[in-house]
Amino acid sequence: MSNAILVVGGGFSGLTAAIEAAELGHDVYIVEKTPWLGGRVAQLNKYFPKLCPPSCGLEIQFQRIRKNPRIKFFTQAEVIGFSGVKGDYNVRIRINPRHTAPHNVEFNLLASGLQGEVENEFDFGMSKRKALYKAMPFAFPNRYVLDTDALSKADAARVAGNKFLNVEEKPREVEFSVGAVVVATGWKPYDVTNLTNLGAGTVKNCVTNMQLERLASPFGPTGGRIVRPTDGRAPNHVAFVQCAGSRDQNHLNYCSYICCMATLKHCLYIAEQSPETQITVYYIDLRAPGRYVKVLEKVQALPNVHFIKGKVANAEQAPGDKVRITAEDAVRGEKLTLDYDLVVLATGMQPSLAGESAPLPLPLDEDGFIAGGEEAGIFAAGCARMPLDVMRSAQSGTAAALKAVQTVKGR
């Protein structure tokens, strides 16, 4: 029997669940797949409801983790074994090697001198990174990672002698007991290569909404300037394609909830940077839940933002690396074919577990969202359960923590 709690996923809802449970006196283990905590929120430029930068909300969470000895977190880790019964689970995890010293070493100078470069997954392929890297300045844990696969021959020689780097480090396995589990595995952006009629990711200057977040982020590939990836010029005409893969039985058969608000936020980013830029949002229905309608009203009042009811169903490359899109203005009954400097696909949220074989005994619905498992003391939080914004993810994290605590209480 154990009254410890396992939290799978170190994004906003997982962190919230872990902190809430730990602050109630439980031992908590966070298992995070990537090298740093913070999840998708860390990739954003700003997030709802207050449109603050991610460091703002995450900073507080990281502080609470740092100060709470009950929370142990494992990064670059995944659950590989799970057995036992409710209240007494045995968990086995594998921790992949980080190859860097356990304390905060500043590798900036060494890293910038390396030759090998690979696509930066944190920027969704819009930039390159070195083999030794840290994805964001406020990273937590504030440690570099050495990606040995990305080292060139010369790089390998350079890092070999460094006493703070250990290229020989091997994966480790750790076992521990928990009484309950919070699964906060979050979401992934829907794979645009499936959207054949929208160019399947091959059209230049046709980016996804998450790529636009990276473009807008001061720590992103352009230092926060929203420009065309091909020539670095600010776009004069931008189009947003709503429901790119969402509410579509051929792709995600549900509304992803956040994309309308994300697009409205992006309109604000662009209007702030270049008020002259003409923006057109193509939508089926605009969904601004609850008080977010205020944001919709604010964006609708902007002089250079236009809304057209009609889904974009074709995107092609046009001369000058422009993007040619076709949509029917369903109100006027007119088919429009127009070229834009930059087109943003508002792709939806797919649960990270979709198409994955999770080691936990989790009932998933047909879309990959967690549907059930509570009777076994396994509680879903955040976007692993349904599409949510950050605020509601945090709420669902608290709710899951409360349920997990009740499961193990009194043992």
Partner 1 sequence: MAQCVIKPDLEFVRELQESGGDSLKKCYQCATCSVACPLAPANAPYPRKEMVWASWGLKDKLMGDADLWLCHNCGNCSDLCPRGAKPADMMSAARNVIYRDLVEPKSIGTLMSKPSGLPVLFAIPALLWLVIWAIRASIVGAWFPRTFDGRIVFGQIFYGDYTIDPIFMLTFFGALFIIGRGVVKLWGMFKPEGTLTVIGQKRCWLLHLWDVLWDEVITHKKFSDCEEGPNTGKTHYNRQFGHLLLVYSFCILAFVTAIVAGGHWIGKIWPVVSIETPMPLTFPVKLLANLGALMLLAGLAILTVRRWLQNNKNHGSSWHDWYLLGIIWAVALTGVLSQCFRLADCVVPAFMVYYLHLVFVWMLFAYLPWTKLGHFVYRTAALVYVRMYGRG
Query: CB 310 → partner 1: shortest distance, Å?
Result: 4
User: Minimal distance in Å, beta carbon 196 to partner 1?
Assistant: 3
CA distance 80 to 93: 5
Q: Least distance to partner 1 from the beta carbon of 83, Å?
A: 40
Q: How far apart are CB 248 and partner 1 at their closest, in Å?
A: 3
In the complex, what is the shortest distance from the CB of residue 204 to partner 1, in angstroms, rounded to a whole number?
17
Residue 261 or 327 with smaller CB distance to partner 1: 327
CB-wise, 80 or 313, nearer to partner 1?
A: 313
Nearest to 212 by CA among 182, 189, 194, 185: 189
Least Å distance, CB 247 to partner 1, is 6
Residues in contact with partner 1 by CB under 8 A are 194, 196-197, 200, 243, 247-251, 284, 309-314, 326-328, 330, 333-337
* Per-residue CA distances from 250 to 244, 253, 257, 283, 368 (Å): 11, 7, 18, 18, 15
Report d(CA 229, CA 341) in Å as an integer. 10
Nearer to partner 1, 83 or 337 (CB): 337
| Rounded CA separation 382/9 (Å) | 10
Q: List Cα–Cα distances, 325 to 87, 129, 337, 338, in angstroms.
A: 55, 32, 6, 6
Question: Which one, of 254, 88, 76, lies nearest residue 174 by Cα?
Answer: 76
Q: Which is nearer to partner 1, 239 or 360 (CB)?
A: 239
58: number of Cβ within 10 Å: 24
Helix (H/G/I), strand (E/B), else coil: 211: helix
The CA-atom distances, in angstroms, between 33 and each of 12, 37, 80, 120, 324 are: 14, 9, 12, 16, 38
Do residues 187 and 350 lie in contact, with contact meaning Cβ atoms separated by under 8 Å? yes
CB of 315 within 8 A of CB of 198? yes
CB atoms within 10 A of CB 42: 24
Query: Which of 399, 401, 396, 395 is CA-nearest to residue 385?
Result: 396
| Phi, psi values for residue 208, rounded to 5° | -95, 165
Closest approach of partner 1 to the CB of residue 384, in Å: 24
- Min separation Cβ 345 and partner 1, Å: 14
In the complex, minimum distance from the CB of residue 193 to partner 1, in angstroms, rounded to a whole number? 10
Q: Nearer Cβ to partner 1, position 206 or 243?
A: 243
Our CB check for partner 1 shows the closer of 108 and 196 to be 196
Residue whose structure tokens are 């060494």? 110
CA distance 375 to 393: 22
